Chains A and B, each alone.
Chain A
């Protein structure tokens, strides 16, 4: 019984991590993107610490969002092309489990490293020290939600060749609340206000996303496979 229901989660999680390890370059690209765009901001706007600090919460979050978008497109495409997706679909266990395994692996490879590098970006942007912990927590929770919602878009645009832009289009409006509360967490900490409330909202988003996104992803995958 437990094998039937939870079957596939850990298997696919480790599978994804192993595959990613073999393609280390692909995994590192979004992180490098994150770092490089962070350098663009002071160059384009101004290197003054005050201005950067004012921009920091929003900019960090926007960059995390874009880095996630860059990497989510290929979540299912390799499996789609080599037939493993079909295997997942006809297997007897709940399809939500392999899906959650893959999305968790995606977060471990993209969202979590982003979260861990963020203090460095905080230093670059002269972010006050009091905001560092809220930033890390908001990114940790928020990028998980971004991975889940992004996976829905990836599943819907799977058969399309130039699906990347369409994926961004589909997923952007859904990302906006996460962005609002994520950057608000950091901003509240900077302003000395209570930052646990927006963080709690992010946690609520994560709970909703974990519950509902797999349903949508599974439906979209079945759809894409049959067409």
Chain B
């Protein structure tokens, strides 16, 4: 019998119980770091960064719009990878992470779209312009909707998990295709658009708070993901002995 110690480590990673107990210790400092980064970045960007020559103060929305867009897209890939790991190695925890990533990602995509629309009004005069970036983000939202719709459609958790995973993988192939298609479609119909998010050509004083916000959003995403997965773990593993022990201990403390 060949017991590979590496695989034991890997499979232990997939245990919901291990995840729950490990993340318990991470929560306090992760919350602190996220809060500090986000508050710093937001206050800096809203009140202290210089205003844009063309757009005036409304460009400050960038400090919410750009990080949300980054995380919305990155979150989709994280969701798809979690789904793939769950499918290949049959790790339940991976599926739980995927489900949490789906809802968080959809919400962030909405934030990106809403802030983008609100930004559009003073900049272009209308709330909606079929600009390549925003159209791609809208399609990304629809991709998220699909995965969200499949999460709880089947009677067993296992089936719904697998269906969502399959769909998110199919969507992953499409995400670059969609982005490129919409980009190309845009050049066909409009020669040049205002590049809202031309980050490299921004003044460093404007760019720095943006970096802080992006980092803050990454930490926030991790925090939201962990919290959501922990709740999912309790809901699904309610009948197992370690959860019951945990609850009993909590009541003992109270």
Q: Which residues of A are in contact with B by a Cβ distance under 8 Å?
A: 152, 156-157, 159-160, 166, 169-174, 176-177, 180-181, 184, 187, 205, 208, 212, 216, 219-220, 223, 226-227
Contact = CB atoms under 8 A, between A and B. Distances in A.
A171 to B, nearest CB: 8
Interface of B: 87, 139-140, 142-143, 145-146, 149-150, 153-156, 159, 162-163, 166-167, 169-171, 173-174, 177-178, 181-182, 184-185, 188
B166 A166 contact: no
B170 A152 contact: yes
Nearest to A197: B184
B149 A170 contact: yes
Contact of A216 (B150, B155, B166, B181): B166
A177 B159 contact: no
A97 to B, nearest CB: 20
A184 B185 CA distance: 8
B173 A212 contact: yes
21 contacts: A152-B170, A156-B150, A156-B163, A166-B149, A166-B153, A170-B149, A170-B167, A172-B142, A173-B139, A173-B140, A174-B174, A176-B139, A176-B178, A176-B182, A177-B174, A180-B184, A180-B185, A184-B185, A212-B170, A227-B154, A227-B159
A176 B173 CA distance: 13
B174 A180 contact: no
Mostly, the B contact residues are: helix
Contacts, number: 70
A169 B167 CA distance: 12
A174 B168 CA distance: 11
Sorted nearest first, the 5 A-B pairs with minimum C-beta distance are A177-B181, A227-B159, A170-B146, A173-B142, A173-B143
Given A173-B139, A208-B173, A181 B153 contact: no
A204 to B, nearest CB: 9
A194 to B, nearest CB: 12
Contact of A180 (B153, B169, B181): B181
A33 B155 CA distance: 35
A205 B149 CA distance: 26
Q: A156, A172, A187, A205: which has the most chain B beta carbons within 10 Å?
A: A156
A174 B182 contact: no
B162 A223 contact: yes
B107 to A, nearest CB: 17
B149 A169 contact: yes
Contacts of B87: 219
Nearest to B180: A177
Contact of A227 (B140, B156, B181): B156
Nearest to B186: A180
B92 to A, nearest CB: 16
B146 A177 contact: no
A156 B167 contact: yes
B186 to A, nearest CB: 10
A169 B106 CA distance: 15
